[in-house]
Structure 1
Amino acid sequence: MRKLVPFVSMLLAFAFLLSACGTASGPVRAVEDYLGALVSKDINRLVVLSCADWAQSAADEMNSFQAVTIRLEGLSCAEAGTDGAYTLVDCQGNIVVSYDGEDQAIDLSLRTYQVVEQGGEYLVCGYR
C-alpha cells in the first residue's frame, strides 16, 4: 500500500499538469484572455492576443474605453463551430461600462469571436 501512494500521487499530479496544459491555450481561453486584457486596458497584452489583421481594431476598441471604467460580468465562452480557418467562439455575459455613475452593458452574446491559430498560438481575429 505504501508503494502505491507515491505512484497514485504522481499519476494525479501528471493528470493535473496535462489538464492545465489543455486549458492554458485554445480558442475559448484566447477570447477570455482577450476580453480580460480589454477591460484591464492592457494594450500590450491585447495586441499580443490579436492576429496582425485585427491588432489595430483591437487597440481602437480599447482606446474607446479610456475615459470610462469597464468590467466584465458573468463571462462564459464556448466554441461555436468553425468557418474556414476561424474557430468561432460565443460568449455570454457583459462588458459593463461606467461613466459618471451610470452603467451601460454591452451584451457579449451579440458577438461571435473569430479565432485563428498562428505559430501554435490562438489569436482573436475579430468578431461578427
Structure 2
Amino acid sequence: MRIGELARRTGVSERSLRYYEKQQLLTSERTPGGQREYGEWAVDRVIRIQVLFAAGLNSTKIGQLLPCMRDPDGAPSERADGLLVAELAGERQRIDRMIADLVRTRDVLDEVIDTASQPGRERAAA
C-alpha cells in the first residue's frame, strides 16, 4: 500500500509516517518511481508506534522496544536486555503515576459535577 492509504487506515499523517521512517521505526520499499510501498504489517506497526508515543515514550525508546514486541504473525525478533527492562520498568512506574493522577483529577471533576447537578445548588447572582 502507498503512504496515503497507510495514513488513512491508521489515522496518522503522511508527515508522521515519514518521520517514523527517518527514526527507523518503520520501513518501506520503493517503487521504480520512488514512491513508498508498505506491506499489510505496517498498519499494526504504526498503531503500536502511536500507542507508545501516547504513553510518553520517545522515538529512541520506541526503536529499542519494537524489535522486542511480538508481531501479530510471530515471535519477537529480539529479547530485551537487562538495561532496557529496567528502563521500561521505570516507564511503567511513570505511567502508573500518571494514571493515578488522572483518576484523582476525575474524582475531583465528578464531585464538582455532582454538586453542581443537585437541585437548588445554582449560584446566586452577584
Identify, as 1 or 2, the structure richer in helix. Answer: 2
TM-score (norm 1): 0.24
Larger Rg: 2
TM-score for both structures, normalised by structure 2: 0.25
Larger RCO: 1 or 2 (CA < 8 Å, sep 6+) = 1
